[in-house]
Every structure is written in C-alpha cells, then in structure tokens.
Amino acid sequence: MTSAFTPSGSLDRLLKPDSIALVGASSNNSALGGRALDHLSRWQGRLYLVNPRQAHIGERPCFASIEQLPEAVDCAVLAIPADQVEAAVRQCASLGIGAVVVFASGYAETGDDEGRAAQARLASLAAAGGMRLVGPNCVGVASHRHALNAAFAGFPPLAGPGDGLDGQGAAPRIALVSQSGALALALSQAAERGVPLSHVLTCGNSSDVDVADYLVWLAAQPECRGIALTYEGLRDPDRLAPAIGEALDRGKKLAICRLGLSPPGQDAIRRHTATMSRSSPALAAAMSRQGVLSLTAIERLIETACFLAKAPDPAPQARGVAVLSASGGTGILAVDAAFRAGVTTPQPQRSTRDRLQQCLPGFASARNPCDTTAQSTRHPTLLLDAAQALLADPGYAALVLPWGRSQSANLFPELARLSRQHGKPVCVVWMSPSPGQDLLRPVEGDPTLALFLSLDACFESLAGWLRG
C-alpha cells in the first residue's frame, strides 16, 4: 500500500541519510552549531562540516561553503542565524541536497507579515529543488539507525539495532513525533527509564515537513510498532486524518496529544508555530478506529503508546477487567479509577473464586479486586497463582496490578508469560510517586507487560482499547 498523497520514500534521505553536512559547525559547545556537532559526532555516516572561518574543528576538516562539499549530501543541517538561512537553502536546493533542517527562529511564529513571507520563501525554494525542509524553528530529528541525532536538543541515545531490541523478547519500539522541540526533549527522556524509542521527529513551524509526513513515513518503517504524537497544527490540517489512517492500516498503534484544545491555547498557537488544526468528520472517524487513543495529559502520552504497542489486537471478547494487588487500599483505588473510566470490574465466576480460595490465605479476598495481602511479599507465588486464575476467567479482558516497591521484580517474566498464554494484557501500575528509573526498567523493557504511572492513565487506556 502506498500513500495517496506523499511518496513514502520521500523522507528517506532525511531520516536514513548516508551523508550529512553540518552548516555552521562550531567548536563552541554552547552554540547551536557546537551542540549539533557534539550530537552528530556519534552518527555512523559521512559527516561534513561547513564553517568559512575555521580549517578544522577537532580532527575534522571544515569546508568553507556549501558549494565546496564533495558530494550532494542527503541532508544539510543549518545551524546558522536566520539572516543566512535563505541563501543556504537556495544553495542546497540547487546542489541536489535531499533535505535541510532549519533551526533558526524568527519566521511565521513572530506573527508578522515579514516572518510569514520569509518562511514561505524557504518552502518555495525547497519545493522548487525537490528538497524537503524541516522547520524553521525546530530542534531537528533523531533515529536509532546509525545513532542519528541531527538536532541541537540533547536527545538520549535511542534503541539501536545492536542492543538486542530487534529480537524476540524485546519491547516494541515507539517513535516520538512532536512538533514542539521542547516537548520532544522532555518526552524523549522516557528512554532513561527503558522505553525503547526508535525515532524522535520534530518539525517546528512545519513549513514543508509536518507531522502528517512523519506519520506516513513511519507507517512504512518496520522498526516501530507504536507512535506517540503531539502537535499544534499542520501545514495542511486535512492531511492528518489520512496519515493517521495509513499508519493504522500498516499496523501502527497511535497515542495522540493535541495542543491548543482551549481558546487560550489556540490563541497561543497563532503566536508560536502559526500552524493550523481543524476538526472534521474524517479526523473524527480516524481517531475512533481501533489502535488509536487521544489524551489531554501529556505526561501519559508515552505510557499510552507503549500500552497500545504491547496490547493484543484485537482485544478479547470480554469487557471486564480484574484487579490483583498485595494491598487492599490499592485495590480499592484501582476499582475507583476503573469506575471513573467506565471500565467494569465484575466479580470472578464461581470456578475462578474456588481456585482463588485454594491459593490465597484465609483472610484474603477471593474477589475482584483480589487482595493477596502482604502475605504475597513473603510468598510471591501467591500472586502468580491468583494471576493465573484471574486471567483464565472468560469474564476478564485484562489484568491490572497496582505495584509497590516491596514486591519482587522477579515476578515480571512469569506475569508476562501468563499474559501471552491468555492473550490478555497485564498492566503494572506503579503506586509510589517518582520511582527511581531503575525500578521501572524491568517492566518497560518487557515485550508484554505494560507500565503505567497512574491508575487513571491505565484505566482510561484500557477503556479506549476495549471500546475499539
């Protein structure tokens, strides 16, 4: 299947480059051109530096101008002031360079006619040369492939092909698409707690490449299963619905957080990226499909994308959810959150109750929520036996485990096995605030278990998944 509106290969030179030129490379690490050089230095491809005032930066030679580059590079990263950008874009387009990334600000987001006109000229120059343009007013892009980090933002290392994440037993990768560079930087830090990110793609003012282009390109990439998308608007807002549709058609799962849902937010967007969004029946239809969830709380974006990427598709027939905890209090909070989200937590059928009564201590509750009590801290198999019984119950589509630090991470592989055996998601909800990242890695890195940091996030995701 190919896209009806954008050749899916058209971003390959930007996102799978063999050669990159950094224009405005600097030895000053506090300058954008210095930070970008620092990040690009780890990339495994042909990197050329352009700087007319230096012969070398470190051991790398500098070219005096774009014209003197030894090849028409796949991508030129422009870390230069706004007043030099237009000439550089014209040169790149005339040389057959595949794509440019423009960091500079001062374009349509200023809200004045001059800025809008300057941005339109950049887009026209790129289009005339068959070149793609990212930005202006963007922080760049990163990919796990060959450790590409063509950005002045310090994204964390992404999940590379050599780290074992491609094989069996690895968590599915997530691509992060964020129009805002600051949000991309913030959200990408989920990598530090073990979320395997394949790409971080920003587009700022979106004068050419926008989030719809990224969705369509990612749709064709096998190395991510989930996409976390946050955006303000697009160059052409009507392109979003078909782009979401194409990603879903190709088996991607999408969590989407749109900025500017309020009147003051809309007003601020006009002065930020000056891009547009628009409600439409086509967009509503795309957003209601199985495999996509929209949310307002940005802090839940990554965990929702990870959940969708890990959850079975389609969802089981059952609509109930079971709650299993080592504490009565967290079980009560969980069914409260389920109720708020419209998720039912029915009681187990008789045979399940009998099995629970056989494995649980006398004073535990062989019900839903099922409370193994603190006994399960000393006898961890209690929890596994109860999980087995609940997952086998045909009334449940999923199992939610509010989790405390006194519980053993050794249980995760066996819980994941039970999840796969029954084809039902097992969601681990971390109950303590700000857990250390090391505590979260074993769940994030598991190919099956879904991690949530709030009960509301968990049950709202389950509600959306069950509706699908």
CB nearer to its own copies: pick between 313 and 438: 438
* 3-class state of residue 162 by DSSP: helix
Nearer to its own copies, 66 or 440 (CB): 440
State whether residue 298 is helix, strand or coil: helix
Shortest Å, Cβ 305 to its own copies? 11
How far lies 262's CA from each of 28, 229, 278, 302, in Å? 41, 18, 13, 22
Query: Which of 262/421 has CB closer to its own copies?
Result: 262
**How near is the Cβ of 453 to its own copies at its closest, in Å?**
7
Among residues 145 and 310, whose Cβ is nearest to its own copies?
A: 310
- DSSP per-residue codes, 47-116: EEEE-TT-SEETTEEEESSGGG-SS--SEEEE-S-HHHHHHHHHHHHHHT-SEEEE----SGGG-SHHHH
Q: Is residue 77 a contact partner of residue 21, using CB atoms and an 8 Å limit?
A: yes
Rounded-to-integer distance, Cα 448 and Cα 415, Å: 9
Q: How far is the CB of 353 from its own copies (least distance, A)?
A: 13
What minimum distance in Å lies between the beta carbon of 30 and its own copies? 6
Of 282 and 298, which CB lies nearer to its own copies in the complex structure?
298
Nearest residue (CB) to its own copies, 85 versus 185: 185
Both tokens of 270, joined, read 């006009």
296 vs 421, beta carbon nearer its own copies: 296
Measured from the CB atom, the residue of 53 and 378 that comes closer to its own copies is 378
Query: What's the closest the beta carbon of residue 15 comes to its own copies, in angstroms?
Result: 21
| Shortest Å distance, C-beta 463 to its own copies | 14
Instruction: Please report how close the Cβ of residue 143 comes to its own copies at its closest, in angstroms.
Output: 20
Q: How far is the CB of 360 from its own copies (least distance, A)?
A: 12
In order of 323, 333, 383, 419, 450, the CA distances from 338 in angstroms are: 10, 9, 21, 20, 16
| Residue type (1 letter), 119 | Q
The answer to whether residues 21 and 48 touch, using CB atoms and an 8 Å cutoff, is yes
CB of 445 to its own copies, least distance (A): 14
Instruction: Give the whole-angstrom CA distance, residue 106 versus residue 137.
Output: 7
Asked if 197 contacts 174 with a C-beta cutoff of 8 angstroms, the reply is yes
Q: Is 32 helix (H, G, I), strand (E, B) or coil?
A: helix
Tokens of 333: 């909070």
Q: What's the CA gap between 254 and 174, in Å, rounded?
A: 9
Contacting residues for 67 by C-beta, under 8 A, at least 6 apart = 91, 95
Nearer to its own copies, 98 or 115 (CB): 115
**Half-sphere exposure of 288 toward its Cβ, with a 13 Å CA cutoff?**
6
Strands 60-63 and 56-57: antiparallel
